[in-house]
Chains A and B, each alone.
Chain A
Amino acid sequence: MSELISEFDAAGMHPLVEPVDASHGILLYLEDVSVTFDGFKAIDHLSLYIGDGELRCIIGPNGAGKTTMMDIITGKTKPDTGRVFFGQTIDLLKLDEPAIARAGIGRKFQRPTVIEPLTVLENLELAMSGAKRLRGLLSTRLSKAEWERIAAVLERIGLSEHGDRPAGILAHGQKQWLEIGMLLMQEPRLLLVDEPVAGMTPAEMERTAELLKSLAGEHSVVVVEHDMGFVRSIADKVTVLHQGRVLAEGRLDELQTDPTVIEVYLGVSDAQH
């Protein structure tokens, strides 16, 4: 009986999704994906492959469909057509958001989303993988191993001094790091990071670049970002999205000389500034 209760699936740990099989070197497959909102094609026959351990930047003008693409990968939006696979075997279109999170995909929102009344520590604890069964949920204390995991992530995101402060009083940049830290607590294989440096000071940006670069290899990281300087500092491979489609893919310095890219994106954004 007690075993039954401890295994009871309160917050809904699915009968664990199988481990990711990235044996072909690709962790995420999007193939021919389309989604339409009220007749408007936000994603239009998009195909994209993310390698295992890769750090990929995605750029594109406002409304290009970058956030929508993340919504599709994480189960928030179901596409009209197309296939989305995590590794060789996990069909993400068959899973809902929590199941996808538990399969190993973490997501940072465009607007920093930390739980403001909770402390930094509590935010990390909330995100910890393995704590989501009823027995874990009804405990009031951290085990030593759990505590060490949290301390390691705190250190990594540079918030060791701030563990006991409410997340709401952190500086904007610190909130962004905390949210990345929360993703790390999930121990994901793939991190989707939407506009991590929006509103950051140059010094904060530099630290964020270091952090994201240090994550690649161990994890695959997909970063959506507008800031060209930042993109240049972290990624070797960049995908340009435009009107829901891949316009170009390659190294940033190559893309910057590509006339179509200059026209739709770089040109436009330069004209704006």
Chain B
Amino acid sequence: MRLPAWLLSDRAGLALLTALTVLAIGVPALNLLLPTDHPLHLSAYTITLIGKYLCYALLAVSVDLVWGYMGILSLGHAAFFALGGYCFGMYLMRQIGARGVYGNSELPDFMVFLNWSELPWYWYGFDQFWFAALMVLIVPGLLAFVFGWFAFRSRVSGVYLSIITQALTYALMLAFFRNEMGFGGNNGLTDFKEVLGFSLHADGTRIVLFALSALALAGGYLACRWLVSTRLGRVLVAIRDSEDRARFLGYRVERVKALVFTFSAMLAGVAGALYVPQVGIINPGEFAPLNSIEAVIWVAVGGRGTLVGAVVGAVLVNYAKTWLTGALPEVWLFALGGLFVAVTLLLPRGLIALWRRREATA
């Protein structure tokens, strides 16, 4: 089998795909083949933690596609991530069935608690895996399309667009906090038991979810890399660097933006859907404006407009976060802010530039 030229020339991308393959095989092996007391044994907890990083990395890739290539600084991408998460969470919720605290096979616990007598119409269908999986794509995609259609058509761009994306995710957060919305209010959706009949607490399920996260990240990366290597990818760069030039060449800039923004939101939705069964909860906090800003920082740290940089940034920053929030929780936000400032000033092309520079001098 020969690799297509667009992939063959992407050395950083091939390195990333190799790393993901090694992870997808090696991590389960270190869990399954080594005895629990072996120093290299990986616990299910660690596997899930890495799986979480991979979901964040996919979110970062989706942010980089719109920001790095098309110049749209979305400060609301965590909203699409959270919506994907909620869609899949609804499925997991319905899977609990009669095993909830109230033993009601039709209604999730929080609805029984609210004295609701029947399932709201928008929960219909979510007992089916395929339906939920479809909604993971459709719900974030539809919101992104409608939002993008209006925002881009009215030629909102730059800082103003960033601000309304923040407003979007903030508004969703407030809405999801309300109990009457029917998504569990501030507790969100949790206490999941199983997915497709497999227990979420079993090591095997966690390993499969981890491997699926690696696969989704590889797939999302490949899709974005292919997209930016087509002519459409060059149109995106033209829109980023000179929107007017693209328009006067005859491109309908707002349509291109809306389409790519929608695709990116779907990727974020998939990331959220894989995230929820691994962390076991989704609540309105995931819509917090800060989450979207963090995702942008990952991309900036790794290197904007490179896709691989987004992955590197997401994994490294989140690793640092896990470590620092354990050791010195009150310092984390300052560290994050400091990191962002430092990278912007000292490494405007991100960490990936260090690698590129070495490669260039080698």
Q: Footprint of B on A, CB under 8 Å? A: 9-13, 74, 76, 97-98, 101-102, 106-107, 109, 113-118, 122, 125-127, 129, 131-132, 136-140, 182, 186
Contacts and interface: CB of A to CB of B under 8 A. Distances in A.
Interface stretch (B121-129, B183-191, B241-249, B288-296): B241-249
Contacts of A122: 234
A101 B250 CA distance: 5
Given A10-B255, A10-B256, A186-B250, A115 B230 contact: no
Contacts of A115: 234, 237-238, 241-242, 245
A74 B248 CA distance: 8
Contacts of A138: 230-232
Given A12-B251, A126-B234, A186-B250, A140 B244 contact: no
Contacts of B238: 115, 118, 126
A28 to B, nearest CB: 16
B234 A125 contact: yes
A11 B244 contact: no
A117 B249 CA distance: 17
Given A11-B235, A107-B248, A140 B259 contact: no
* Top 5 closest pairs, chain A to chain B, by CB: A12-B252, A101-B250, A137-B232, A102-B250, A97-B247
B152 to A, nearest CB: 12
Contacts of A12: 251-252, 255
Contacts of A127: 249
Given A11-B232, A101-B250, 19 more contacts: A10-B259, A11-B235, A12-B252, A76-B244, A97-B248, A98-B253, A101-B247, A101-B248, A109-B245, A115-B241, A116-B241, A117-B237, A118-B234, A125-B234, A140-B6, A140-B226, A140-B229, A140-B230, A186-B249
B251 to A, nearest CB: 5
B235 A126 contact: yes
Given A137-B230, A139-B230, A118 B237 contact: yes
Given A11-B256, A113-B245, A118-B238, A132 B251 contact: yes
25 contacts: A10-B232, A10-B256, A11-B255, A11-B256, A13-B250, A97-B244, A98-B252, A101-B249, A101-B250, A102-B250, A106-B248, A107-B248, A113-B244, A115-B242, A117-B237, A125-B234, A126-B235, A132-B250, A137-B230, A138-B231, A139-B231, A140-B4, A140-B5, A140-B229, A182-B249
A76 B250 CA distance: 13
B229 A129 contact: no
A136 B249 contact: no
A76 B247 CA distance: 10
B131 to A, nearest CB: 24
A22 B248 CA distance: 22
Contacts of B4: 140
A95 B248 CA distance: 12
Nearest to B254: A12
Given A10-B255, A118-B237, A126 B249 contact: yes
Contacts of B252: 11-12, 98
Contacts of B234: 115, 118, 122, 125-126
Given A125-B231, A125-B234, A140-B4, A98 B259 contact: no
Interface in B244-289: 244-245, 247-253, 255-256, 259
B240 to A, nearest CB: 9
Chain A CB within 10 Å, residue with most, of B241, B245, B256: B245
Contacts of A139: 230-231
Contacts of A140: 4-6, 226, 229-231
B342 to A, nearest CB: 25
A12 B149 CA distance: 14
A107 B244 CA distance: 10
A131 to B, nearest CB: 6
Nearest to B229: A140
Contact of A129 (B230, B232, B250): B250
Nearest to B259: A10
A109 B252 CA distance: 18
A255 B255 CA distance: 47
A115 B247 CA distance: 13
B212 to A, nearest CB: 27
Contacts of B255: 9-12
Contacts of A136: 231
A137 B238 CA distance: 13
A139 B5 CA distance: 12
A129 B242 CA distance: 18
Nearest to A114: B245
Contacts of A76: 244
Determine which residue in A115, A118, A131 has the highest number of CB atoms from chain B within 10 A of its CB, and name it: A115
Nearest to B245: A113
A75 to B, nearest CB: 9
B281 to A, nearest CB: 39
A237 to B, nearest CB: 25
Contacts of B248: 74, 97-98, 101, 106-107, 109
A196 B259 CA distance: 35
A113 B242 CA distance: 7
A100 B238 CA distance: 19
B304 to A, nearest CB: 12
Nearest to B231: A137
Nearest to A138: B230
- Output the residue of B231, B237, B244 with the most chain A CB within 10 A: B231
Contacts of A74: 248
Contacts of A137: 230-232, 235
Contacts of A13: 250
A132 B251 CA distance: 7
B103 to A, nearest CB: 48
B356 to A, nearest CB: 14
